[in-house]
Chains A and B, each alone.
Chain A
Amino acid sequence: MLGKLWGKNMNEYTIHSKKMIPLDRSNVDTDQIIPKQFLKSIKKTGFGPNLFDSWRYLDSGFPGQDNSSRKLNPEFILNNKKYEGSEILISKENFGCGSSREHAVWALQDYGIRCVIAESFADIFYNNCFKNGLLAIAVSRDSLKKLFLLSERVENIHIDLVNQVILDKNESVIVKFEIDTFRKSCILEGLDEIGLSLKYTENIKHYEISSKKLTPWIFE
C-alpha cells in the first residue's frame, strides 16, 4: 500500500472536501493518465508531477525533467486554481481503460487524489486502485451530473466510506454507492493481501499435488 491515505480511526474514513476536479471526458485511458515515457521508472513514487502530462503541459515531457519550468496548458482543468489541492477526481464512463500500468494509480495518488468517481471503470484499473488504497466509486449518470454541478459551485461534499454514501453540505444523501466487501476492507484495514493469501498455503500446496498428477507438463 502506498503511503497512509486512509487513517486507522473511524472519522478518517471520510473525505470532506469543497473541491472535486471535474474531468469532463469519457474513456480516459491510462496512456493519458501517465504517458509511456514515465513508465521507465523502477519506483512507485514521483509520478505526480507528470499526471496527465500531455494534457497538462504545452510541451512533451520526459523523465527527470524540472517540471516547474514547463509551460502549463491554461485550459486543462488540473491547472485551474479553483481546484488546487483537490483529493477527488470526477470523470465519465470507462475511466482507466487501456494499458494495465499500475503507474496510473501511483500517479493519481502521488498527485494527491484519494478518490476517483466515474460512471464506470475499466476492470484492470479498478482492481489496481484498491490494491493501492485509491477509492474508485462508480455512480449513475444522474448522480454524476449532480456532482459535476457541485464541483462547478465548489460546494462542500462528504464521502463516507464506512456507510458508502456521498453527502452534500446539508448532509443529505447525493448517492449511495456499491463496493464489494473485500475491496472495502482492503481500504479500511490496509490489508497485506499477499500475507492474507499465504494463509492458504496448505490449500495451494494441496491443489498443486492434484494438478501435478493431472497435468504434469505444467510443472516441468
Chain B
Amino acid sequence: MPRTLYDKLWDLHEVIQREDGTYLLYIDRHLVHEVTSPQAFEGLRLSGRTTWRASSNKATPDHNIPTTDRELGIDGITDEVSRLQVTTLDDNCKEFGIEQFDITDQRQGIVHVVGPEQGITLPGMTIVCGDSHTSTHGALGALAMGIGTSEVEHVLATQCLVAIKQKNMKVEINGLPDKGVYAKDLTLGVIAKIGTAGATGFAIEYSGEAIKSMSIEERMTVCNMAIEAGARAGMVAFDDVTLNYVKGKPYSPSGTDWDKAVSQWKDLRSDESAHFDKVIEIDASELKPQISWGTSPEMVIDIDSTIPEPKSSSESRALDYMGLKTGMRPQDIKLDQIFIGSCTNSRLEDLRVAAEIIKGNKISKDLKRAIVVPGSGLVSKAAVKEGLDKIFIEAGFEWRAPGCSMCLGMNPDQLDEGDHCASTSNRNFEGRQGYKGRTHLVSPATAAAAALEGHFVDVREIVG
C-alpha cells in the first residue's frame, strides 16, 4: 500500500501495539531544556528509575538564559528562581549522565536551533522535546513532536512514547514567492487560511514547488509553526537540500554509516499515490508579506491591507487588547520595540536577510529598543565572522547572546505595558512577550524594515 512520509516514519518506529489500541513508538532523540524537565527528573528519582538510554538525550538551557553578561556564566542570571532552574538542569544532567551544552558552552542555544545545527537531529529519526515547537526538526524529514512533562519522564525512562496515530494532511505550496515574501510569510499565510485548530489531530507534510526550492533553514521556519495550526508534527521530504545540510555536521554519521544512511533516507518521501485525509493547496506567488494584528497567530493580514472588522467576540477582544481599530493600515501602527530572534527566525540566513536591509541605515529614533538574538552560540559566531553584528550595532540594534529571550520573556528581555513589537517569533498571545505587551508576528525582513521606519512598511518596496 502506498504510504505517506508520516506513515513511513511511524512504521519505522513502531515497537508494539498494546491491547488498549495505543502504540509504543520508539524515540531516537530526546532534547531537554530547563523549563519542562525538572519535574520529570524528580519523578524518576521518586520512583527509583533511571534513563533507558542516556546518550539519546541532549540538553541545553535556553528559556531563562539572559542575553547579556554571559561571560559571568551562571552568575549572570540575576533572577534567583531562573538560576535555580538552570542549575537544576546542570545537576540533573550530571546525575543521569546526559550530555549538555551548558550556559558556558559555545554550542548552547535554543534547543530547536542547536539540534539540527549539530546533526543531533537527523532525517528518519523520531525526535521529541518538552516544547511544542519541536515540530521544527521535521524540516529534515524526521518525525518530531512536542510533548508534556509527564511524557518527558516517560521517554527518559522507557525510550518510548505512548502514541495514537494522527491523520495525514498535505499542505502543498506551489508557485514561487515574490521578492520580499519569505518562509515566515508562507507559514503565517497557511495558518491564516486553515486556522489555529485547522490541523489538530493531523501530521502535516509540506510539499510543492515553493517548499522544494527552500533551504533547510526556511523549511524549519515553516515546520516550526505547524503547531500554531494545531499540528503536533510538520515535516518535509528528504532531498538533496537535506543531504547537503546534514553532511559533515558534528553528530552526523560518516564513512560507511553515512552511505548506509543516505541510501535509507532517500525513501523518506510520500509514495506517489499515498492517501492524505486532507489536502490544502496554496499558491505562493499570490502571497504578500504578512503581519499579525491580533492575539492569535491566525489573526493575520497582508501588509497592504487594513485591520479587518472583527468577526467574533475573540477578535473584538483582540483588537481591544492590541489598541487597534478596524480600517487602520499596518503603516499606522507605531512601534516601540523590535525583536529579531526565536526558534522561528534566528538562524544565520534570517540574520543575513535582516542585515541586508538595515545595512548603512539607522533605526528609527521613535523606537525604545531593537534587539537581535542569534539562535545559538555558533550562529552568533558565524554572524560575527561575516560582520553582521557590526551592521546591526551601527544601525542602533543591540546584539545579544543566544537564547529564547523576548520570544516569551522568561528572562529580563520583555516588552513594557502597551508596547507594540515587530517580532520574528511565533506567538502573539496576550502577555507572551511581557505583561500587556502587543506582539506583531512578521518575517525578519519586515521586522528590519519596520525598525528603520518605526512603523510597518511593505518590504517589497525595499528589496523588490
Q: Considering the complex, which residues of chain B in the window 380-410 have a beta carbon less than 8 Å from any beta carbon of chain A?
A: 408-410
A contact residues around B435 at 8 Å (CB): 54, 60
A193 at the interface (CB under 8 A from B): yes
**Chain B proximity of A7: nearest CB distance (Å):** 21
B contact residues around A25 at 8 Å (CB): 313-314, 317
Taken together as a complex, chains A and B put the C-alpha atoms of A98 and B228 apart, in Å, by 7
Taken together as a complex, chains A and B put the C-alpha atoms of A25 and B312 apart, in Å, by 10
Known A-B contacts A42-B42, A42-B88, A98-B429; the reply to A204 vs B230 at CB < 8 A is no
Taken together as a complex, chains A and B put the C-alpha atoms of A131 and B314 apart, in Å, by 30
**Chain B proximity of A189: nearest CB distance (Å):** 12
Known A-B contacts A197-B24, A197-B160; the reply to A131 vs B151 at CB < 8 A is yes
B154 at the interface (CB under 8 A from A): yes
A27 at the interface (CB under 8 A from B): yes
**Chain A proximity of B28: nearest CB distance (Å):** 5
A142 at the interface (CB under 8 A from B): no
Taken together as a complex, chains A and B put the C-alpha atoms of A124 and B128 apart, in Å, by 12
Which candidate, A31-39, A82-90, A146-154, A165-173, is the interface stretch facing chain B? A31-39
Which candidate, B13-21, B168-176, B205-213, is the interface stretch facing chain A? B13-21
Task: Identify which of A94, A98, A132, A203 contacts B132 (C-beta below 8 A).
Answer: A98
**Chain A proximity of B168: nearest CB distance (Å):** 15
Q: Mark B113-138, 1 if CB is under 8 A from A, else 0.
A: 00000000010110000111000000
B contact residues around A39 at 8 Å (CB): 35, 63, 410
Q: Mark B263-276, 1 if CB is under 8 A from A, else 0.
A: 01000000000000
Taken together as a complex, chains A and B put the C-alpha atoms of A88 and B10 apart, in Å, by 36
A contact residues around B230 at 8 Å (CB): 94, 97, 122-123
Give the size of the chain A interface in residues (CB under 8 angstroms): 60
B239 at the interface (CB under 8 A from A): no
Known A-B contacts A40-B410, A42-B42, A124-B132; the reply to A101 vs B28 at CB < 8 A is no
Q: Considering the complex, which residues of chain A in the window 47-98 have a beta carbon less than 8 Å from any beta carbon of chain B?
A: 54, 60, 63-64, 93-94, 97-98
B contact residues around A181 at 8 Å (CB): 20-21
Would you call B200 and A193 a contact (CB within 8 A)? no
**Chain B proximity of A215: nearest CB distance (Å):** 7
B contact residues around A194 at 8 Å (CB): 47, 49, 153-154, 157-158
Would you call B253 and A120 a contact (CB within 8 A)? no
B150 at the interface (CB under 8 A from A): yes
Most interface-central of A24, A97, A182, A211 (chain B CB within 10 A): A97
**Chain B proximity of A124: nearest CB distance (Å):** 6
Residue of A nearest to B39 (CB): A44
**Chain B proximity of A145: nearest CB distance (Å):** 14
Residue of A nearest to B83 (CB): A40
What are 24 A-to-B residue pairs whose CB atoms are below 8 Å? Answer: A26-B314, A27-B196, A29-B296, A40-B64, A40-B82, A44-B39, A54-B430, A54-B436, A94-B196, A99-B132, A100-B132, A102-B148, A120-B200, A124-B132, A124-B146, A182-B21, A193-B154, A194-B158, A197-B162, A200-B160, A203-B16, A204-B52, A216-B253, A216-B257
In the complex, besides A182-B21, A218-B28, 19 extra interface pairs with C-beta distance below 8 angstroms are A26-B312, A31-B429, A40-B79, A40-B81, A40-B410, A94-B200, A102-B39, A123-B200, A124-B148, A128-B150, A131-B150, A194-B47, A197-B154, A197-B162, A198-B158, A204-B159, A215-B261, A218-B122, A220-B253
